[in-house]
Amino acid sequence: MKWPYIPKGVLRDELGNRLYPEGDKIPENLPAAYQLGNYPDEQENSMVPPRQNCTSCIFFENGWCSKFKAEVKANYWCAKYQYDINDDPYYFPEGLV
């Protein structure tokens, strides 16, 4: 799938490879939607939902994405993001509010 815009925090070299702003290559098996994410207290990328980045995704473990079997950066995000609702401080089950 081709992502409809240039994702924030992703560059392309002359061969079309995706790169981080620092110049490191982004693993090819990460999806086209892989881009800069958002911290809980900072909305850095308006194309990503608030408070979402790899560190709060269920597939993230110590810099590794088990969904795509690739090294990822903690402050990045992709459209396959999923979180454990029990870890969400903004979720209040009905009846507990």
Alpha-carbon separation of residue 48 from 7, 30, 55, 79 (angstroms): 10, 16, 14, 9
Query: Is pLDDT at 27 greater than 90 in this prediction?
Result: yes
Report, as an integer, the average pLDDT of 21-42. Answer: 94
d(CA 59, CA 66): 5
Average pLDDT over every residue of 61-67: 97
Provide the mean pLDDT of the chain: 88
Q: Which three-class secondary structure state does DSSP give residue 12? A: strand
**Can you give the pTM of this predicted structure?**
0.82
% of the chain at pLDDT higher than 90: 70
Q: Which two tokens stand for residue 87?
A: 């870890």
Q: What is the largest CA-CA distance in the chain?
A: 55
